[in-house]
Amino acid sequence: MNAESTFSVVVLIKRVPDTETRIQVKDGKVNTEGISWVISPYDEYAVEEALRLQEKYGGKVTLLCLGSEDAKETIRKGLALGADDAVHLNDPAFEGGDAATTARALAAALKKMEYALVLAGKQAVDEDNAQVAIRVAELLDLPHVNAIIKLDLADDKKSARCVREVDGERDMMETSLPAIFTAQQGLNEPRYPSLKGIMGAKKKPIADWKAADLGLDPAHLGAAGAQIQVERYDPPAPRPPGKIIPGDPATAAKELVRLLREEAKVI
């Protein structure tokens, strides 16, 4: 697993709607028409960090993505940023699953890959599960460090020191390698793809792996294996229209305090 020859980093990425997108819900389903898709923002930090490690230590950056055929476009975006190649878990058997089935497939794929460490986003901004990468760590019996904002490898690349930020507290954490790290905003400033990168991405290899390639029983994957199932989606309850309070600052402030006390009863 821990290759002596090349320093390999695998980055887990997910295709999600751009955060600018308005999510339209119809008949209990999310209408995906007109959505523009991106690499989940936290995964972008993970890709960037992997590329910076490669700049420092050489070696190879591989993207690992579970998703439908459409996810190819998103994988190409990651390759355009500079990743060398990708593995696409592309099989209807993987789809419609929950965090557990997704982690199971990703862990099985990682077992077949070489890596010094794995990076991922701390959560995907679609379902906001914040589980998959940590589950993968447990399934592979790897240590994990969650929500890192700084990552430094020891000279021998056998251990790492990182800073993570959770619930208003900041910790310096240490771990042996290989390990899985999840990226928090603040880890770095992701780069934009260059034109050369975009052109080059078209020629970079993407391997399609199916459930059978991972030796996994489809009954334990995707919708068939999921214990957690989304029944329906609804739009959030609309907020009633608000009031604009007129007057000079002192008058408006006075009226606001009155409303907060007497109408909203929050203070």
Partner 1 sequence: MPNNILIVAETRDGAPRKVAFELVTVAKQLAQGMGGKIEVFAMGSNLASAAQALAQAGVSKVYVADDAALDASRFAPELHAAVLADAIRAAQPAVVLFGATGVGKEISARAAAKLDWGLVTDCTDAKFENGALVLTKPVYAGKAIATVKAKSLPAMVSVRPNIFPPVEANASAAPVEIVAVKMVNVRAKVAERVKKAETAVDLSEAKIVVSGGRGVRGPEGFEPLHALAKVLGAAVGASRAAVDAGWVDYGTQVGQTGKTVSPQLYIACGISGAIQHLAGMSSSKNIVAINKDPDAPIFKVADYGIAGDLFEVVPALTEELKKVMAEK
Residues 154-213 that bind partner 1 (CB under 8 A): 161, 163, 165-176, 179, 184-186
* Cβ proximity to ligand FAD, 14 vs 135, nearer residue: 14
Q: Is 19 in the site for ligand FAD (CB under 6 A)?
A: yes
Which structure tokens are listed for 163?
A: 């800073």
Confirm if 3 and 114 have CB atoms less than 8 A apart: yes
Q: How far is the CB of 128 from ligand FAD (least distance, A)?
A: 12
- Per-residue CA distances from 200 to 10, 45, 83, 203 (Å): 19, 21, 10, 6
- The one of partner 1, ligand FAD, none whose footprint includes residue 5, by CB under 5 to 8 A per kind, is none
Cβ pair 144, 134 in contact under 8 A: yes
Paired sense of beta strands 60-66 and 159-166, if any:
unpaired
HSE-CB for 60 with a 13 A CA cutoff: 17
Report yes or no: 119 and 83 within 8 Å, Cβ to Cβ.
no
| Helix, strand or coil, per DSSP, at residue 30 | strand
CB nearer ligand FAD, residue 41 or residue 218: 41
Residues touching partner 1, count (CB under 8 A): 80
Shortest Å distance, C-beta 173 to partner 1:
5
Of ligand FAD, partner 1, none, which one does residue 109 interact with (CB within 5 to 8 Å by kind)? none
CA distance 135 to 129: 11
Smallest separation (angstroms) from ligand FAD to the CB of 87: 25
Within 3-62, the residues that bind partner 1 by CB under 8 A are: 17, 19-20, 22-23, 25, 30, 41-42
| Bridge partners of residue 209, in order along the sequence | 89
Name the binder of 73 from partner 1, ligand FAD, none, CB < 5-8 A by kind.
none
| Calpha distance 253→267 (Å, rounded) | 14
- Does residue 90 bind partner 1 (CB under 8 A)? no
- Binders of ligand FAD among residues 26 to 55 (CB under 6 A) are 41
**Residues in touch with ligand FAD (CB under 6 A):** 19, 41
